[in-house]
Chains A and B, each alone.
Chain A
Amino acid sequence: MGKSLLQKVWDLHTVRTLESGQTQLFIGLHLIHEVTSPQAFQMLRERNLSVRFPQRTFATVDHIIPTHSIQRPFEDSLAEAMMEALEENVQETGVTFFAPGSGKQGIVHVIGPENGLTQPGMTIACGDSHTSTHGAFGAIAFGIGTSQVRDVLATQTLSMTPLKVRRIEVNGELQPGVTAKDVILYIIAELGVNGGVGYGYEYAGDVFDRFSMEERMTVCNMSIEGGARVGYVNPDETTFEYLRGRPYAPSGDAWDRAVSFWKSIASDADADYDDVVQFNAEDIEPMVTWGITPGQAIPVTGNVPRPEDASGEERANIELALQHMKLEPGQPIAGTRIDVAFIGSCTNSRISDLRAAAEVAKKGQVAPHVRALVVPGSEQVEAQAKAEGLDEIFRAAGFDWREPGCSMCLAMNPDKLVGDELCASSSNRNFIGRQGSPTGRTVLMSPQAVAAAALAGEITDVRNVL
Chain B
Amino acid sequence: MTESTLQPVKTLTGRGVAVRGNDIDTDRIIPARFMKVVTFDGLEKHVFEDVRFDQDGNPTDHPFNREEYQGASILIVNKNFGCGSSREHAPQALMRWGIRGIIGESFAEIFFGNCVSLGVPCVTLPADQILYLMELVESDPSVGIEIDLEAPAVRVPARNQEWVAELPDGARKRFLKGTWDALAVLLDSGELIEATAQRIPYLNDFATAS
Within 8 A of B (CB), among A103-122: 116, 119, 121-122
Q: Could you tell me if B110 and A143 are in contact, using CB atoms closer than 8 angstroms? A: yes
In the complex, chain B residues whose CB is within 8 Å of the CB of A42: 38-39
Q: Is A303's beta carbon under 8 Å from chain B?
A: no
In the complex, chain A residues whose CB is within 8 Å of the CB of B79: 194, 313
Which of B33, B55, B113, B117 has the largest number of chain A CB atoms within 10 A? B113
Determine, out of A169-177, A255-263, A271-279, A334-342, the stretch whose residues face the partner at the interface.
A255-263
Within 8 A of B (CB), among A241-284: 248-251, 254-255, 257-258, 261
Cα distance, A411 to B108, chains bound together (Å): 23
Chain B contributes a number of interface residues (CB within 8 A of A) equal to 67
Residue of A nearest to B113 (CB): A145
Q: Could you tell me if B197 and A158 are in contact, using CB atoms closer than 8 angstroms? A: no
Q: Is A39's beta carbon under 8 Å from chain B?
A: yes
Q: Could you tell me if B22 and A317 are in contact, using CB atoms closer than 8 angstroms? A: yes
Determine, out of B69-77, B133-141, B147-155, B198-206, the stretch whose residues face the partner at the interface.
B198-206
Q: Could you tell me if A19 and B177 are in contact, using CB atoms closer than 8 angstroms? A: yes
Residue of B nearest to A122 (CB): B202
Give the contacting residue for B36; candidates A82, A122, A150, A251; CB below 8 A: A82
Q: Could you tell me if A155 and B186 are in contact, using CB atoms closer than 8 angstroms? A: yes
Counting residue pairs across A and B whose Cβ atoms lie within 8 Å, the total is 233
0 or 1 for each of B8-28: is its CB under 8 Å from A? (1 = yes): 000000000000011101011
In the complex, chain B residues whose CB is within 8 Å of the CB of A52: 193
In the complex, chain A residues whose CB is within 8 Å of the CB of B33: 411-412, 436
Q: Could you tell me if B50 and A96 are in contact, using CB atoms closer than 8 angstroms? A: no
In the complex, chain A residues whose CB is within 8 Å of the CB of B201: 121, 257-258, 261
Chain B nearest CB, measured from A239 CB (Å): 14
Residue of A nearest to B39 (CB): A39
Determine, out of A20-28, A365-373, A396-404, the stretch whose residues face the partner at the interface.
A20-28
Chain A nearest CB, measured from B91 CB (Å): 8
In the complex, chain B residues whose CB is within 8 Å of the CB of A159: 170, 174, 182, 185-186
Q: Could you tell me if B114 and A24 are in contact, using CB atoms closer than 8 angstroms? A: no
Q: Is A90's beta carbon under 8 Å from chain B?
A: no
Within 8 A of A (CB), among B66-119: 78-80, 83-89, 91, 106-110, 113-114, 117-118
Give the contacting residue for B83; candidates A96, A198, A227; CB below 8 A: A227
Given A148-B117, A155-B187, A159-B185, also A15-B206 (CB < 8 A)? no
Given A35-B35, A161-B170, A412-B32, also A151-B208 (CB < 8 A)? no
Chain A contributes a number of interface residues (CB within 8 A of B) equal to 92
Residue of A nearest to B201 (CB): A261
Q: Is A133's beta carbon under 8 Å from chain B?
A: no
Q: Could you tell me if B200 and A197 are in contact, using CB atoms closer than 8 angstroms? A: no
In the complex, chain B residues whose CB is within 8 Å of the CB of A248: 208, 210
Residue of A nearest to B114 (CB): A145
Q: Is A7's beta carbon under 8 Å from chain B?
A: no
Cα distance, A171 to B117, chains bound together (Å): 41
Determine, out of A346-354, A376-384, A427-435, A449-457, the stretch whose residues face the partner at the interface.
A427-435
Cα distance, A227 to B109, chains bound together (Å): 7
In the complex, chain B residues whose CB is within 8 Å of the CB of A145: 86-88, 91, 110, 113-114, 117
Interface residues of A (CB under 8 A from B): 12-16, 18-22, 24, 26, 28, 35-36, 38-39, 42, 46-47, 49, 52-53, 55-56, 63-64, 76, 78-79, 81-82, 85, 96, 116, 119, 121-122, 127-129, 131, 142-148, 150-151, 154-159, 161, 193-194, 197-198, 224-225, 227, 229, 248-251, 254-255, 257-258, 261, 292-293, 313, 316-317, 320, 410-412, 429, 431-434, 436, 438-439
Beyond the given A148-B114, A150-B183, could you list 11 further A-B residue pairs with CB under 8 A, ordered by the A residue number?
A15-B196, A24-B189, A38-B39, A46-B2, A96-B210, A122-B202, A128-B86, A129-B110, A198-B109, A225-B84, A433-B50
16 contacts between A and B (CB under 8 A): A38-B39, A42-B38, A145-B88, A145-B110, A151-B183, A157-B189, A161-B168, A161-B170, A194-B23, A197-B109, A248-B208, A254-B206, A255-B206, A258-B201, A292-B23, A412-B32
Interface residues of B (CB under 8 A from A): 2, 21-23, 25, 27-28, 31-33, 35-40, 50, 55, 78-80, 83-89, 91, 106-110, 113-114, 117-118, 168-171, 173-174, 177, 179, 181-183, 185-187, 189, 192-193, 196-197, 199-203, 205-208, 210
